[in-house]
Structure 1
């Protein structure tokens, strides 16, 4: 029987090391676009639907404001987004793509396919992996789960 206490048998380490490998692959793929992986995630959310509140972005990306604010400042300095205060509530800020930010979508359209190819997994295998990881995340985030720990 295998020793379940060894590093190579730990699910957490497999997830951690796979995440680092995926992020490194993205770093290479995103170098030509001049954005980091977290910046790319922000752009992806805005490409799905422009004009989002900062809080909504943070919720979707699971980022706190201390992490998200510098990302947004950098994207703004790159000319890819604009931050606008709402006229109805000056405390609320919405994020909008600039024309350059919108144009980057076309230049990045091959990235998901290139990354998928780099993993060596088939499309069904990748889809199943995404479903499984989403289920793990949702279970660990559920209020009932935190009571069980």
Structure 2
């Protein structure tokens, strides 16, 4: 089997999570600067077999797309053009940042560690991936 890679896209930073090859466990991989995201994904997929990209879809409470969706759409087009053999699926990402912060609190991270926005992005990507695996 191959991995599933989840992307919590952000204007400055993007959190990335990945499954194991059996697609059982979701783990945070890293956070990358968004302007380096496509080269990172090309490099990662050249070394690891990835069968699916999950990309968070930001929604409002009334189920309409959030404003940040306009930033994600050009990225999705680039991703399709650069890595056309890997399908992309969108996943509702409402509340993932809040859940990530709560996970950090529950994990006993100190205030300084909880202010690490890159870690929040990585945990958010992991939550997106876990929810996909749970509902698969």
Whether TM-score is above 0.5 comes out as: no
- TM score, norm. by length of structure 2: 0.32
Structure with the higher helix share, 1 or 2: 1
- TM score, norm. by length of structure 1: 0.30
Greater Rg, structure 1 or structure 2?
A: 1
More relative contact order in 1 or in 2 (CA 8 Å, sep 6+)?
A: 2
